[in-house]
Structure 1
Amino acid sequence: MVSRILVPMDDSDHASQALEYALDNYPDGEITVLHVVGVPSMLMGEATALALEDDISEAAARRSEPVFERAHEIANKRDRAVETAVGTGHPARRILERAEEYDCIVLGAHGTDWSRATRRFLVGSITETVSKRAPVPVVIVR
Protein backbone atom coordinates (compact mmCIF):
# COMPACT_ATOMS: atom_id res chain seq x y z
CA MET A 1 0.00 0.00 0.00
CA VAL A 2 1.26 3.45 -0.92
CA SER A 3 0.67 5.80 1.98
CA ARG A 4 3.65 8.22 1.88
CA ILE A 5 4.47 9.91 -1.42
CA LEU A 6 7.36 12.26 -2.19
CA VAL A 7 6.73 14.75 -5.00
CA PRO A 8 9.84 16.77 -5.88
CA MET A 9 8.78 20.08 -7.45
CA ASP A 10 10.31 23.02 -9.21
CA ASP A 11 8.36 25.71 -11.06
CA SER A 12 7.79 23.61 -14.20
CA ASP A 13 4.49 22.47 -15.64
CA HIS A 14 5.68 18.85 -15.47
CA ALA A 15 6.22 19.17 -11.72
CA SER A 16 2.72 20.58 -11.26
CA GLN A 17 1.33 17.70 -13.32
CA ALA A 18 3.22 15.24 -11.13
CA LEU A 19 1.60 16.69 -8.01
CA GLU A 20 -1.82 16.58 -9.66
CA TYR A 21 -1.21 12.93 -10.56
CA ALA A 22 -0.16 12.07 -7.00
CA LEU A 23 -3.17 13.80 -5.48
CA ASP A 24 -5.59 12.15 -7.92
CA ASN A 25 -4.13 8.63 -7.80
CA TYR A 26 -3.26 8.36 -4.10
CA PRO A 27 -6.37 9.82 -2.44
CA ASP A 28 -5.45 8.48 0.99
CA GLY A 29 -1.73 9.17 0.67
CA GLU A 30 0.28 11.60 2.73
CA ILE A 31 2.07 13.76 0.16
CA THR A 32 5.23 15.74 0.76
CA VAL A 33 6.34 18.31 -1.79
CA LEU A 34 10.12 18.72 -1.83
CA HIS A 35 11.73 21.74 -3.45
CA VAL A 36 15.51 21.72 -3.76
CA VAL A 37 17.29 25.09 -3.95
CA GLY A 38 20.86 25.66 -5.06
CA VAL A 39 20.93 23.78 -8.34
CA PRO A 40 24.46 23.57 -9.74
CA SER A 41 24.92 25.38 -13.04
CA MET A 42 27.81 26.13 -15.38
CA LEU A 43 28.26 29.54 -13.77
CA MET A 44 27.19 28.34 -10.32
CA GLY A 45 24.50 31.06 -10.32
CA GLU A 46 21.84 29.92 -7.86
CA ALA A 47 24.24 27.81 -5.79
CA THR A 48 26.69 30.70 -5.43
CA ALA A 49 23.96 33.22 -4.65
CA LEU A 50 22.58 30.93 -1.98
CA ALA A 51 26.03 30.37 -0.46
CA LEU A 52 26.47 34.14 -0.08
CA GLU A 53 23.34 34.49 2.05
CA ASP A 54 23.73 35.09 5.79
CA ASP A 55 21.19 32.40 6.64
CA ILE A 56 21.13 29.70 3.96
CA SER A 57 18.12 27.88 5.44
CA GLU A 58 16.06 31.07 5.55
CA ALA A 59 17.10 32.02 2.01
CA ALA A 60 16.23 28.54 0.72
CA ALA A 61 12.82 28.70 2.40
CA ARG A 62 12.19 32.13 0.88
CA ARG A 63 13.12 30.88 -2.60
CA SER A 64 10.83 27.88 -2.17
CA GLU A 65 7.74 29.94 -1.39
CA PRO A 66 6.48 30.33 -4.99
CA VAL A 67 6.74 26.57 -5.60
CA PHE A 68 4.97 25.78 -2.34
CA GLU A 69 2.25 28.36 -3.05
CA ARG A 70 1.58 26.60 -6.36
CA ALA A 71 1.57 23.20 -4.62
CA HIS A 72 -0.96 24.38 -2.04
CA GLU A 73 -3.18 25.86 -4.80
CA ILE A 74 -3.18 22.52 -6.63
CA ALA A 75 -3.93 20.61 -3.42
CA ASN A 76 -6.64 23.06 -2.29
CA LYS A 77 -8.51 22.58 -5.59
CA ARG A 78 -8.79 18.92 -4.63
CA ASP A 79 -9.61 19.58 -0.96
CA ARG A 80 -6.31 18.01 0.03
CA ALA A 81 -3.34 19.12 2.06
CA VAL A 82 0.34 18.61 1.34
CA GLU A 83 3.37 18.85 3.53
CA THR A 84 6.36 20.81 2.28
CA ALA A 85 10.10 20.36 2.68
CA VAL A 86 13.08 22.36 1.48
CA GLY A 87 16.38 20.86 0.41
CA THR A 88 19.58 22.56 -0.66
CA GLY A 89 22.19 21.43 -3.13
CA HIS A 90 21.92 18.90 -5.92
CA PRO A 91 18.27 17.91 -6.50
CA ALA A 92 18.81 14.23 -7.33
CA ARG A 93 20.97 13.71 -4.23
CA ARG A 94 18.47 15.40 -1.93
CA ILE A 95 15.59 13.39 -3.40
CA LEU A 96 17.48 10.11 -3.06
CA GLU A 97 18.52 10.93 0.53
CA ARG A 98 14.84 11.17 1.49
CA ALA A 99 13.53 8.35 -0.69
CA GLU A 100 13.56 5.60 1.96
CA GLU A 101 11.12 7.61 4.10
CA TYR A 102 8.45 7.19 1.40
CA ASP A 103 6.57 4.42 -0.39
CA CYS A 104 7.06 6.03 -3.81
CA ILE A 105 8.30 9.10 -5.62
CA VAL A 106 6.20 10.91 -8.22
CA LEU A 107 8.06 13.38 -10.39
CA GLY A 108 7.72 15.23 -13.65
CA ALA A 109 9.49 14.05 -16.77
CA HIS A 110 11.38 17.34 -17.07
CA GLY A 111 12.18 20.29 -14.88
CA THR A 112 12.36 23.97 -15.73
CA ASP A 113 13.27 24.37 -19.41
CA TRP A 114 16.06 26.94 -18.92
CA SER A 115 18.05 24.72 -16.63
CA ARG A 116 17.42 21.30 -18.14
CA ALA A 117 20.23 21.50 -20.70
CA THR A 118 22.67 22.77 -18.08
CA ARG A 119 21.69 20.06 -15.59
CA ARG A 120 22.00 17.34 -18.21
CA PHE A 121 25.42 18.67 -19.24
CA LEU A 122 26.79 18.82 -15.69
CA VAL A 123 25.05 16.07 -13.76
CA GLY A 124 22.63 14.24 -16.04
CA SER A 125 18.90 14.28 -15.90
CA ILE A 126 17.47 14.44 -12.39
CA THR A 127 14.53 12.30 -13.39
CA GLU A 128 16.80 9.72 -14.95
CA THR A 129 19.13 9.64 -11.95
CA VAL A 130 16.29 9.28 -9.44
CA SER A 131 14.52 6.60 -11.47
CA LYS A 132 17.69 4.52 -11.73
CA ARG A 133 18.84 4.84 -8.12
CA ALA A 134 15.75 5.19 -5.96
CA PRO A 135 15.13 2.39 -3.45
CA VAL A 136 11.36 2.83 -3.91
CA PRO A 137 9.10 2.84 -6.99
CA VAL A 138 9.25 5.98 -9.13
CA VAL A 139 6.34 7.27 -11.18
CA ILE A 140 7.33 9.64 -14.00
CA VAL A 141 4.55 11.95 -15.17
CA ARG A 142 4.48 13.65 -18.58
Structure 2
Amino acid sequence: MIDPDHVLVPTLDRPNEDEALAYALETFPDADVTLLAVVTPLDAPLSEGGVLERDDDRSTQARRRSRELLASVDQTSVEDRVRIETVEGRPGNAVPKYASDEEIDHVVMYGHGVETSGFMRRFLGRGIAATVVERTSEPVTVLE
Protein backbone atom coordinates (compact mmCIF):
# COMPACT_ATOMS: atom_id res chain seq x y z
CA MET A 1 0.00 0.00 0.00
CA ILE A 2 1.23 3.47 -0.86
CA ASP A 3 1.40 5.78 2.14
CA PRO A 4 -1.41 8.34 1.98
CA ASP A 5 -0.84 12.08 2.05
CA HIS A 6 -4.18 12.88 3.70
CA VAL A 7 -6.07 10.67 6.16
CA LEU A 8 -9.62 11.25 7.38
CA VAL A 9 -10.76 10.21 10.86
CA PRO A 10 -14.51 10.76 11.28
CA THR A 11 -15.74 11.51 14.80
CA LEU A 12 -19.31 10.77 15.82
CA ASP A 13 -18.91 11.15 19.59
CA ARG A 14 -18.67 7.39 20.03
CA PRO A 15 -16.35 5.28 22.20
CA ASN A 16 -12.82 4.43 21.03
CA GLU A 17 -12.46 7.19 18.47
CA ASP A 18 -9.22 8.11 20.20
CA GLU A 19 -7.91 4.70 19.08
CA ALA A 20 -8.76 5.50 15.47
CA LEU A 21 -6.94 8.83 15.69
CA ALA A 22 -3.91 7.27 17.40
CA TYR A 23 -3.83 4.51 14.75
CA ALA A 24 -3.94 7.05 11.91
CA LEU A 25 -1.15 9.15 13.45
CA GLU A 26 1.09 6.16 14.17
CA THR A 27 0.46 4.20 10.98
CA PHE A 28 0.75 7.17 8.63
CA PRO A 29 3.38 9.40 10.32
CA ASP A 30 3.92 11.60 7.26
CA ALA A 31 0.25 12.15 6.42
CA ASP A 32 -1.89 15.14 7.25
CA VAL A 33 -4.93 14.07 9.28
CA THR A 34 -8.39 15.60 9.30
CA LEU A 35 -10.67 14.95 12.25
CA LEU A 36 -14.13 15.25 10.74
CA ALA A 37 -16.77 16.02 13.35
CA VAL A 38 -20.02 14.80 11.82
CA VAL A 39 -23.12 16.46 13.25
CA THR A 40 -26.14 14.29 12.54
CA PRO A 41 -29.35 16.17 11.68
CA LEU A 42 -32.04 15.98 14.34
CA ASP A 43 -34.44 14.24 11.94
CA ALA A 44 -32.00 11.45 10.99
CA PRO A 45 -32.95 7.88 11.95
CA LEU A 46 -31.25 6.04 14.81
CA SER A 47 -29.12 3.93 12.46
CA GLU A 48 -27.27 6.95 11.11
CA GLY A 49 -25.92 8.48 14.26
CA GLY A 50 -28.15 8.03 17.25
CA VAL A 51 -30.62 10.20 19.04
CA LEU A 52 -29.38 13.72 19.62
CA GLU A 53 -30.54 16.23 22.17
CA ARG A 54 -32.03 19.37 20.69
CA ASP A 55 -29.38 22.05 20.95
CA ASP A 56 -28.71 25.23 19.02
CA ASP A 57 -24.95 24.87 19.05
CA ARG A 58 -24.23 21.23 18.15
CA SER A 59 -21.49 22.11 15.64
CA THR A 60 -19.54 24.00 18.29
CA GLN A 61 -19.92 21.07 20.68
CA ALA A 62 -18.75 18.64 17.99
CA ARG A 63 -15.63 20.75 17.36
CA ARG A 64 -14.96 20.89 21.12
CA ARG A 65 -15.23 17.10 21.36
CA SER A 66 -12.80 16.78 18.45
CA ARG A 67 -10.30 19.10 20.16
CA GLU A 68 -10.64 17.02 23.35
CA LEU A 69 -10.08 13.87 21.31
CA LEU A 70 -6.93 15.36 19.80
CA ALA A 71 -5.68 16.37 23.25
CA SER A 72 -6.27 12.84 24.56
CA VAL A 73 -3.89 11.26 22.06
CA ASP A 74 -0.46 10.79 23.60
CA GLN A 75 1.56 12.13 20.70
CA THR A 76 4.02 14.98 20.61
CA SER A 77 3.61 17.84 18.15
CA VAL A 78 0.71 16.37 16.19
CA GLU A 79 -1.25 19.62 16.17
CA ASP A 80 0.60 20.76 13.06
CA ARG A 81 -0.52 17.59 11.23
CA VAL A 82 -4.15 17.54 12.36
CA ARG A 83 -6.96 19.87 11.40
CA ILE A 84 -10.53 19.74 12.62
CA GLU A 85 -13.49 20.18 10.29
CA THR A 86 -17.22 19.96 10.92
CA VAL A 87 -19.97 18.83 8.57
CA GLU A 88 -23.66 18.26 9.11
CA GLY A 89 -25.24 15.20 7.61
CA ARG A 90 -25.89 11.54 8.00
CA PRO A 91 -22.48 9.93 8.64
CA GLY A 92 -22.95 7.27 5.95
CA ASN A 93 -23.35 10.03 3.37
CA ALA A 94 -21.24 12.85 4.85
CA VAL A 95 -18.01 10.89 5.32
CA PRO A 96 -17.78 9.50 1.74
CA LYS A 97 -18.76 12.89 0.27
CA TYR A 98 -16.13 14.72 2.32
CA ALA A 99 -13.49 12.11 1.42
CA SER A 100 -14.25 12.55 -2.27
CA ASP A 101 -14.54 16.35 -2.23
CA GLU A 102 -11.36 16.91 -0.21
CA GLU A 103 -9.19 14.35 -2.02
CA ILE A 104 -8.70 12.16 1.04
CA ASP A 105 -6.36 9.19 0.42
CA HIS A 106 -7.44 6.96 3.32
CA VAL A 107 -10.19 6.82 5.96
CA VAL A 108 -9.65 5.39 9.46
CA MET A 109 -12.62 4.84 11.75
CA TYR A 110 -13.79 2.72 14.62
CA GLY A 111 -16.45 0.13 13.80
CA HIS A 112 -18.64 1.09 16.76
CA GLY A 113 -19.90 -2.48 17.12
CA VAL A 114 -23.18 -1.83 15.33
CA GLU A 115 -22.87 -4.57 12.74
CA THR A 116 -25.85 -6.75 13.70
CA SER A 117 -28.27 -9.12 12.04
CA GLY A 118 -31.88 -10.19 12.34
CA PHE A 119 -34.33 -8.01 14.23
CA MET A 120 -31.70 -5.58 15.52
CA ARG A 121 -30.35 -4.99 12.02
CA ARG A 122 -33.86 -4.24 10.74
CA PHE A 123 -34.39 -1.90 13.69
CA LEU A 124 -31.00 -0.16 13.68
CA GLY A 125 -30.15 -0.41 10.00
CA ARG A 126 -26.65 -0.87 8.62
CA GLY A 127 -23.69 0.08 10.70
CA ILE A 128 -22.10 3.40 9.88
CA ALA A 129 -18.70 1.82 9.19
CA ALA A 130 -20.20 -0.67 6.72
CA THR A 131 -22.01 2.13 4.92
CA VAL A 132 -18.83 4.24 4.73
CA VAL A 133 -16.84 1.29 3.36
CA GLU A 134 -19.49 0.63 0.73
CA ARG A 135 -19.78 4.26 -0.39
CA THR A 136 -16.14 5.39 -0.25
CA SER A 137 -13.80 4.83 -3.17
CA GLU A 138 -10.73 5.45 -1.00
CA PRO A 139 -9.31 2.70 1.25
CA VAL A 140 -11.05 2.49 4.63
CA THR A 141 -9.52 0.94 7.74
CA VAL A 142 -12.17 -0.09 10.26
CA LEU A 143 -10.88 -0.78 13.76
CA GLU A 144 -12.81 -3.15 16.02
Q: Which runs of 5+ in 1 are unaligned?
A: 54-58, 113-117
**Corresponding residue number in structure 2 for 1:132:** 134
1:1-142 to structure 2, matched below 5 A, reads 1-39=3-41, 40-41=44-45, 45-46=51-52, 49=54, 53=56, 59-75=57-73, 77-81=75-79, 82-100=82-100, 101-110=103-112, 121-142=123-144
For residues 22-55 of structure 1, give each alpha carbon's deviation from its aligned partner in whole angstroms, at most 9, with x where no partner exists.
011111110000111125245x9538x25xx4xx
Q: Structure 1 length as normaliser, TM-score?
A: 0.76
Q: Structure 2 length as normaliser, TM-score?
A: 0.75
CA distance in 1, matches of 2:121, 2:58: 19
For residues 85-134 of structure 1, give each alpha carbon's deviation from its aligned partner in whole angstroms, at most 9, with x where no partner exists.
1111211111011112200100001179xxxxx99735421100011121
CA distance in 2, matches of 1:30, 1:97: 18
For residues 63-103 of structure 1, give each alpha carbon's deviation from its aligned partner in whole angstroms, at most 9, with x where no partner exists.
21342122321456332121011111211111011112200
Higher relative contact order (CA 8 A, sep 6+): 1
Which stretches of structure 1, 4 residues or longer, exceed 6 Å deviation after superposition? none
User: What root-mean-square deviation, in Å, do the aligned CA atoms of Structure 1 and Structure 2 show?
Assistant: 2.8
Alignment identity in percent? 27
> For this pair of structures, how many residues does the alignment match?
129
